[in-house]
Chains A and B, each alone.
Chain A
């Protein structure tokens, strides 16, 4: 009595996940390339005004149309990629490094360090993230001037806590494992155990979160840009471009729509990569 086994159920799932990951990587790479060499792709200068080409609908000459100052939306969107990718990196790099470091220490030593850290976390999560960031920008703005730098600082002051929380939790779990005990029995010092043994095993959720965080920070940057608290005009940043087009929604829908799509695609790309990495790390464990 032979048994014919149908395996498609499992395989199609796997293919679907791999496709999603591939799409995510493709999107990410696409925007990264645009960010590195926008000049190669953008047909026009993003801040060059052209009075004779005001408010033109999408056409062959201007595939994304032009805005109320005659600027080419396509070029602005492409140059915007550079700004937004920068936002993704600079908003997250300090939180990633500092948060990981603090989280590892707190997770390993526990005790009163952990108690203080816990209270700090409680304090921060009581407020919506956007509200705190806006409040910080409002405080820092007069001192260092509004703009991207101000935004990076504000986000970093708060953002590291989430990385630290993740790291702390995972380090605590890893501490219980036998290989950590073995490291102690081999006589290794605390710092070696934390950074050579525990951290590499606890880092995978951090990497996954980092990808998601970049997507979220692009959205955040664009929101702040829209509110005038992030990138300042005439900088081509997606949120700023959208802000510029809001008043022309009925007459020039293309002004806000295309940068909006860019935000969605960039965010999607990072999210899919984050999911894919989570999958890979989970399977390898």
Chain B
């Protein structure tokens, strides 16, 4: 899984836990420390120029994964390789160089921009810090960036609170692009926006990806959007990747029962096709208390005894199709 040739990003066995703070009362009562198992052995690779969609529900670890990739979190075990270099070991100038190459756009348009800096100041800071331009070149580059994200040129003098949610996301994209990254991680880029505005920002992302040859990791919970924009999709559940395949293959014939359930649960736009049966039973377990064996087994209609005991590995069923299931819906190619 990790030594794919031509892979820009290779993640292997990433594991991350957070310890929840214990109150004094908890300590006195002798309750054990609760540990959030955010990531439990995640491995995958991303090819240069592709868009990988990462989809999953609460507690699946997709945001934690994104933050590990940009070094906002430090995983306890595992390895992240970018263009062959170990990302987690980078320090100093090498680390700053990495930050230039991999950038992130955040979910909340209302807290992801510094309220006390004008748009121009925020962009100029990024450009100057990484020494990409100097003097008059900075202003020219700012104008270029604003043009790239389809914002008017007077945007630079204004403050974030003067803009709408969709415009703020564009500013966030401009800031990320200011350092000329190769890879963009979009963590729930449009989830906080209205539907009609979502479409505008998605269109922008598609266009930018073409023009700038970006590699994109698109993290979302909206399956329709992920399908629309990704070449390949990874489905996560409780800190692990349960399926990884090309978009159309995954959506037309899912291999993992959770993927199938997710697709069934997502409300279809066709009012003539309705079902009365729940797509999947039971509650979403918390990452503090991950079920034994396969994490999905308590809710899985196909679960057998083996699923309760043995966690399945992410295996390649067919070329380019991986699933972590003992009884996948698609039989493994012999």
Residues of A within 8 A of B (CB): 177-179, 181-188, 192, 196-197, 200-201, 284-285
Contacts and interface: CB of A to CB of B under 8 A. Distances in A.
A284 B161 contact: yes
B232 interface: no
Interface string B13-31: 0000000000000000000
Interface string B129-159: 1100000000000000000000000000000
Given A201-B114, A201-B115, A201-B116, A182 B104 contact: yes
A179 B111 contact: yes
A181 B64 CA distance: 13
A173 to B, nearest CB: 11
9 contacts: A179-B111, A181-B72, A185-B99, A186-B99, A186-B103, A187-B96, A188-B125, A197-B117, A285-B115
Given A184-B72, A186-B99, A187-B99, A178 B107 contact: yes
B116 A200 contact: yes
Given A182-B104, A201-B115, A188 B129 contact: yes
Interface residues of B, number: 29
Contact of A179 (B100, B113, B179): B113
Contacts of B103: 185-186
A192 B126 CA distance: 12
Given A185-B104, A186-B179, A187-B99, A179 B72 contact: no
Given A187-B96, A284-B161, A182 B179 contact: no
Contacts of A185: 70-72, 99, 103-104
A186 B116 contact: no
Contacts of B114: 179, 183, 197, 200-201
A265 to B, nearest CB: 34
Interface of B: 67, 70-72, 95-96, 98-100, 103-104, 106-108, 111-117, 125-126, 129-130, 161, 172, 175, 179
A284 B103 CA distance: 29
A187 B129 contact: yes
B66 to A, nearest CB: 10
Contacts of A182: 104, 106, 112-113, 172, 175
Nearest to B93: A187
Contacts of A188: 125, 129
A24 B98 CA distance: 52
A218 B318 CA distance: 79
Nearest to B107: A178
B5 to A, nearest CB: 28
A187 B111 contact: no
Nearest to A178: B112
Nearest to A181: B72
